[in-house]
Each structure stands twice: as C-alpha cells, then as structure tokens.
C-alpha cells in the first residue's frame, strides 16, 4: 500500500509540473498576441494620420488651383492633373502661335512701311546737263500727243518711254523732284533732259538755265 501511494504521489507531482508549464506557454502566447495587436493598432493609427495629412495637402492644392470638387480616386485625380497639364501646354502653344503671328505681322508691316518710305526702286542712273522750257511752248502738242503745260512737272527725253517717271537731282542745290516723260528732246549739245518750267523751278535750276543733274529712272 505504501509503494502504491508513492507511485500515485509521483504521478500527481508530474501532472502538476506539466500544468504549470502549459499555463506558462499559454501566458506567453497570449502576451505575444496582445503585443502584435498593439503594434498593428499603432501602425493603423500612423497610416490613418498620413492619409489625413495627405488629404489635407491635396485639399489645399485643390483650393489653390480653383478646383471645386475632389476626385473620388487616385486615378481620377491623375486624369484631372493630366488634363490640366494638357490644357496648360495647349494654352502656351496657342499663346506662342499668337505671338509668332504678331511678330510676323509686325515685321511685315515694318517692311512695307520701309518700302513706302524708301519710295520706288531705282532702275538706272545717269548724269549730265539739263535745261528747261516753258512759256514759248505752253499749250502746244508734245511728242506723246499731250498738250504741254508749263505748270506740270514733266520732261522731255530722247529715248525713255512716254510715261516713265524719273527723279532729277540738281547738284548745285541738292534738291530733287520727280517728273514724267511726255516729250522728246533736248536736241541741243550734250543735254540729257529738258524739264518743264515748274520742274526746273522746284529744284532751283531755272535761274541758271542749264545745270548738271543726276537722273534716276524709277520702277512702275
């Protein structure tokens, strides 16, 4: 009986030790699980905080850019930004095209104004003696069939076609005038052009009767 009791007591002792060990393991498992849960909760809090901060920054950007509504998803937001950038680039290209057009028009206008200020193109130039004629031929027919008028700025030349416009500059005075060829002459000496009384008066040639001039044949 005593031996039997000892064996029974040893079995009880061993069972008690096993229960303690199992209890310790369960405590460790529960503690580890609670620790994981606490870490997960903290991670969730950090993520939520970041999302709130990101949402606030996005809202600020939207307010600054004038957007009335926030996009429902990141894809919608990306599409909105892409569309804004496309419109912005399109506007910049349009402004550049308008600016190019304005520059071209300005350059074209300046060139046209310069051409108008410069006057007709000079086709040819020659120099020589010029004379003039007036009252004694006033009212008579010219070689072109026109009636000579001493008050009009016309001239006679031996070869230039009728209607040709030439600029005559008197070297002594530096004055110039444009006349139209409607007669033939002069046929005295080496004179190259015969001016009407009005043309000679405008360049200061009339008091001299004859003087050296430059004749520029104009286009058109």
Judge contact between 166 and 122, C-beta under 8 A.
Answer: no
Which DSSP category does 152 fall into?
S
| Cα(85)–Cα(105) distance, integer angstroms | 30
Query: Any idea which residue has 């009728």 for tokens?
Result: 162
Q: What does the pLDDT read at residue 3? A: 46
Question: How many angstroms separate the CA atoms of 129 and 220, rounded?
Answer: 25
Is 110 a residue whose pLDDT tops 50? no
Q: Which residues pair with 131 in a beta bridge?
A: 194
Collapse the DSSP code of 14 into the 3-class scheme (helix H, G, I; strand E, B; otherwise coil) and give the result: helix
pLDDT in tens, 15-64: 667 666 777 777 777 766 666 666 666 666 655 655 555 554 554 555 45
Least confident of 15-24, 99-108, 169-178, 200-209: 99-108
State which fold the 122-218 domain adopts.
Barwin-like endoglucanases (2.40.40)
User: What are the boundaries of each domain within the chain?
Assistant: 122-218
Q: Is residue 174 helix, strand or coil?
A: coil
Determine the average pLDDT of the residues in 139-152: 96
């Amino acid at each position: 009986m005593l031996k039997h009791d000892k064996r029974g007591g040893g079995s009880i002792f061993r069972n008690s030790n096993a229960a303690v060990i199992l209890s310790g393991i369960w405590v460790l498992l529960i503690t580890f699980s609670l620790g994981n849960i606490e870490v997960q909760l903290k991670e969730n809090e950090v993520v939520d905080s970041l999302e709130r901060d990101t949402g606030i920054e996005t809202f600020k950007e939207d307010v600054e850019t004038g957007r009335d509504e926030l996009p429902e998803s990141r894809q919608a937001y990306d599409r909105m930004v892409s569309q804004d950038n496309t419109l912005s680039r399109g506007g910049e290209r349009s402004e550049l095209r308008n600016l190019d057009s304005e520059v071209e028009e300005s350059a074209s206008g300046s060139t046209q104004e310069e051409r108008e200020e410069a006057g007709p193109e000079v086709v040819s130039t020659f120099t020589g003696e010029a004379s003039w004629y007036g009252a004694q031929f006033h009212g008579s027919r010219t070689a072109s069939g026109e009636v000579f008028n001493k008050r009009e700025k016309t001239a006679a030349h031996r070869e230039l076609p009728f209607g040709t416009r030439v600029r005559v500059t008197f070297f002594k005075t530096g004055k110039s005038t444009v006349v139209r060829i409607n007669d033939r002459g002069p046929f005295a000496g080496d004179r190259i052009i015969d001016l009407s009384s009005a043309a000679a008066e405008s360049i200061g040639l009339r008091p001299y009767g004859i003087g050296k001039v430059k004749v520029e044949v104009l286009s058109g």
